[in-house]
Structure formats: structure tokens, C-alpha cells
């Protein structure tokens, strides 16, 4: 009888111990300041996100997008988790803010299904004149930056300017359990123009992801948004 009680207690103790190991708390909606806390990590399904870095510069200095102004919304789509960042990225020659730059870095680890696809998209964007938006992303597959030693790098890019826009990009690859991400968001007014951007989205799927219809809607509205911006800037 005692051995049965001992076995039951041992099982309960093991379950209690395992429940506190290897499981990050759910990724919260909020601002980048939360994600930049020392040792912070969070989870969406079987993916753990950690080692967040964020910096910003502006031209002229003094107009940087601070971490407390960058909203973070976790994307909890099964098999395709990620984040959407929201911030007032804007530059225009009339306002005197020539450009803004935001740099993000973070790590993704999977304890379950391997990651086989990374997607990058923008929404709520518009440009006039020489204004431009460029989001460049490099991912290290199977290792971490800065060297990505033993891993493989892939690049993604989305943009909008006077020549057109590309609001969605993705790369597919053989499955890995670790992805390190470096992303640069650049908003530039150029010599005579403006650019605005509201949303940047990253997702990490367990299979190739079709281009979402919402991205097409964002793109089709870009010209209309540009017209509104032009009227506002000319008044």
C-alpha cells in the first residue's frame, strides 16, 4: 500500500515539476517595452519567442519611434503564429521629418512541428512623390545572428514607392526548429514626398502559406490613401 502511495506522489511531483519547465507564458498584446524586459520570452502554441531587440533612429534626430509607441499583437493562427506590429511610421518633407528607421531582432524556437515558411507583410501604407517604404528582413535558419554559424540565411523584402508596391513576401525551406530574425523598417520622404506605414506582420508556419486576401486589400487601398495624404499635405 505504501509503495502505491509513494508511486502516486512521485507521479504528481514529476507532473508539477514538468509543468514549470520549458513552457513560456502566452505572448501578450501590448507594447515593445514589455518584450524588451531582460530574460523575456513568450509562447504561441509550440513556438517560443525570445531575445527581442528594438532600436530606432530618425533624420533629423529626435523623432525616433520609441518602443513604447510600437504596439504588439500576437497572431495565434494554428500552425502559422507570429506578430503584428503597429506604429506611427511617417516621414514627409513638409513636416521636416525626413526619415525614420526601426530595427527589430528576435528568436523563434519550436518544440513541436518544424518551421518551414516565414512570411513578411505590410498594411496601412501610402506614399506620395519621392516618399518610399522599405522593410528588409534576413532570417537565420537553424542558428542565430550575428554570425549565423552553421545555419542558412534567407532574405525577404516588401516596399512601396512611386514605382509601385510589394506588400507581401515569403520564403519556404526545409524544416528547422530555430529561426533568428533581423528586420529593418525604413520610411523615407526623399527630396519631395511623404510616406506612412501602420502595420508590419511576421508569421512562422509549418507549411507554405498562400498570400492572404487582406494584403491585396491593403495594396488596392494604397493609391487611395496616397491621394488623401497628398491633399492633407498640400493644405
Looking at residue 93, its pLDDT comes to: 98
Q: Which residue has the cell 497572431?
A: 75
Q: What's the grid cell of residue 141?
A: 535558419
Q: Cis (ω within 30 of 0) for the bond into 185?
A: no
For the record, the C-alpha cell of 101 comes out as 528607421
For cell 520622404, name the residue: 189
Give Cβ neighbours of residue 141 (< 8 Å, ≥ 6 apart): 151, 152, 153, 154, 173, 176, 178, 179
CA 221, chain centre distance (Å): 22
Q: If the chain, 235 residues long, is cut into consecutive pieces of 10 residues, what is the mean pLDDT of each piece?
A: 43 38 81 98 97 98 98 97 98 98 98 97 98 98 97 98 98 98 98 98 80 42 44 45
pTM: 0.80
Residue 75 neighbours by CB under 8 Å, 6+ apart? 44, 81, 82, 83, 84, 201, 203
Q: How far apart are CA 57 and CA 103, in angstroms?
A: 9
Determine the pLDDT at residue 24.
79
Amino acid at each position: 500500500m505504501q509503495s502505491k502511495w509513494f508511486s502516486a506522489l512521485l507521479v504528481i511531483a514529476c507532473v508539477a515539476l514538468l509543468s514549470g519547465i520549458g513552457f513560456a507564458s502566452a505572448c501578450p498584446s501590448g507594447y515593445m517595452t514589455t518584450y524588451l524586459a531582460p530574460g523575456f520570452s513568450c509562447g504561441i502554441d509550440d513556438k517560443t519567442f525570445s531575445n527581442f531587440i528594438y532600436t530606432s533612429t530618425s533624420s533629423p534626430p529626435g523623432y525616433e519611434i520609441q518602443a513604447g509607441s510600437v504596439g504588439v499583437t500576437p497572431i495565434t493562427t494554428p500552425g502559422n503564429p507570429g506578430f503584428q506590429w503597429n506604429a506611427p511610421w511617417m516621414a514627409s518633407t513638409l513636416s521636416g521629418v525626413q526619415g525614420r528607421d526601426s530595427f527589430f531582432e528576435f528568436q523563434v524556437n519550436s518544440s513541436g512541428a518544424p518551421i518551414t515558411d516565414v512570411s513578411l507583410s505590410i498594411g496601412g501604407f501610402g506614399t506620395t512623390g519621392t516618399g518610399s517604404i522599405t522593410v528588409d528582413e534576413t532570417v537565420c535558419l537553424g542558428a542565430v545572428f550575428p554570425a549565423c554559424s552553421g545555419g542558412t540565411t534567407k532574405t525577404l523584402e516588401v516596399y512601396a514607392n512611386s514605382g509601385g508596391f510589394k506588400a507581401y513576401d515569403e520564403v519556404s525551406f526545409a524544416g528547422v526548429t530555430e529561426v533568428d530574425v533581423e528586420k529593418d523598417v525604413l520610411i523615407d520622404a526623399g527630396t519631395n514626398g511623404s510616406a506612412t506605414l501602420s502595420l508590419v506582420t511576421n508569421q512562422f508556419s509549418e507549411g507554405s502559406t498562400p498570400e492572404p486576401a487582406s494584403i491585396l486589400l491593403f495594396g488596392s487601398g494604397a493609391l487611395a490613401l496616397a491621394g488623401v495624404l497628398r491633399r492633407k499635405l498640400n493644405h
